[in-house]
């Protein structure tokens, strides 16, 4: 895959995010899990479940359009199965990383001689998919309900939901190497890398429990940067609204959204017009930002959730 093609896929994914932001929709904060999970996760026609940014975008689209069927198909796949995408239907570009082996000459540190080595280089590509409800003429197996598929209907402030969120936070914050945490009168919750400590606003200052937990998950996600050896991101100023702002903060936003999804609450950090404009500016400045942040956000959320199993 050549360079222009790789950049084209980054552009397509980024453009989809910017289009949503233009419409006032923040995809990593919207309750994309509103899409019915009665029949399982969003998945390809051959059964492979989507994850990360793809799962978020497809779930959001399914929720907005009211698609019940979680299966997605490419134009050619539909055609080969005797189906046809209806005229005027709009698909969604999903991205994927494709590993390819390349031969490079690398200096042997012991002998100083150049040696040929096989290295793996990851390329980013993608394709457009349509929900099967956008396609006529397909013969599909009937959907089967999954256990726990209606879990998303629990009220966000229900005792079960809050207990589940608390369990995730407690397990992580009490795990080996976890950051310290202080609940203070600070106006802005934040993570201090040099002290490996989270400063959180007092609990009664939040409007509700989902807001408090989504904020806490955000700061917990920042604290995973060291154990996961996450890149620090772009050099230069990193205050919100600056040209170089974006990478680490967006990682934490995605991670918080994925954690909120896991415990059935909505990420509600903020959604002001200036907030949306700043994210559009950051994403336009770096077309790879959204893809990197989403993939790292998944890793951060998984790292936090895995502490419950240790």
Separation in Å, CA 5 to CA 121, 124, 309: 15, 9, 41
Environment class of 126 (CB within 10 Å of its CB; exposed 0-12, middle 13-18, buried 19+): buried
Helix (H, G, I), strand (E, B) or coil at 95: strand
The 10s digit of each residue's pLDDT in 76-102 is 999 999 999 999 999 999 887 777 777
- More confident site: 53 or 167: 167
Would you say 154 and 161 are in contact if contact means Cβ atoms under 8 Å apart? Answer: yes
- Please compute the mean of the pLDDT values over residues 112-127 and round it to a whole number: 77
The predicted structure's pLDDT at residue 197: 94
| pLDDT level of residue 241 (50, 70, 90 thresholds) | very low
Helix (H, G, I), strand (E, B) or coil at 103: strand
pLDDT at residue 25 is higher than 50: yes
Looking at the chain, the whole-number percentage of residues with pLDDT higher than 70 is 82
Residue 305 CA to residue 310 CA, distance in Å, equals 10
pTM of the model: 0.75
- Please compute the mean of the pLDDT values over residues 297-305 and round it to a whole number: 93
Domain ranges of the chain: 31-136, 154-306
From 19, 107, 109, 11, select the one nearest 57 (Cα to Cα). 19
The 10s digit of each residue's pLDDT in 142-174 is 888 876 554 445 555 666 678 899 999 999 999
| pLDDT level of residue 130 (50, 70, 90 thresholds) | very high
The 10s digit of each residue's pLDDT in 208-228 is 888 899 899 999 999 999 899
Residue 285 CA to residue 237 CA, distance in Å, equals 14
DSSP 207: S
């Amino acid at each position: 895959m050549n360079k222009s093609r790789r950049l084209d896929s980054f552009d397509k994914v980024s453009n989809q995010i910017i289009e949503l932001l233009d419409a006032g929709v923040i995809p990593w904060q919207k309750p994309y899990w509103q899409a019915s999970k009665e029949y399982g996760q969003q998945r390809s026609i051959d059964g492979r479940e989507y994850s990360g940014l793809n799962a978020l975008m497809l779930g959001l689209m399914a929720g907005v359009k009211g698609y019940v069927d979680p299966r997605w198909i490419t134009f050619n796949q539909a055609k080969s199965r005797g189906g046809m995408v209806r005229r005027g239907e709009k698909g969604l570009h999903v991205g994927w990383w494709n590993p390819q082996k390349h031969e490079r000459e690398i200096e042997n540190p012991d002998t100083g001689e150049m040696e040929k080595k096989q290295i793996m280089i990851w390329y980013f590509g993608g394709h457009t998919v349509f929900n099967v409800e956008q396609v006529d003429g397909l013969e599909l197996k009937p959907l089967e309900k999954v256990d726990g598929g209606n879990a998303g209907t629990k009220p966000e402030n229900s005792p079960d939901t809050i207990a589940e969120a608390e369990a995730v936070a407690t397990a992580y914050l009490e795990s080996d190497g976890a950051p310290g945490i202080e609940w203070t009168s600070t106006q802005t919750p934040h993570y201090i890398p040099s002290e490996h400590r989270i400063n959180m606003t007092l609990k009664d200052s939040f409007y509700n429990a989902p807001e408090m937990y989504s904020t806490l998950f955000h700061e917990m996600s920042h604290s995973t940067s060291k154990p996961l050896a996450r890149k620090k991101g772009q050099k230069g100023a990193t205050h919100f609204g600056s040209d170089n702002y974006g990478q680490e903060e967006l990682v934490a936003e995605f991670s918080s959204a994925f954690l909120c999804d896991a415990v059935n609450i909505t990420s509600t950090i903020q959604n002001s017009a200036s907030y949306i404009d700043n994210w559009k500016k950051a994403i336009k400045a770096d077309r790879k930002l959204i893809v990197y942040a989403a993939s790292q956000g998944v890793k951060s959320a998984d790292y936090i959730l895995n502490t419950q199993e240790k």
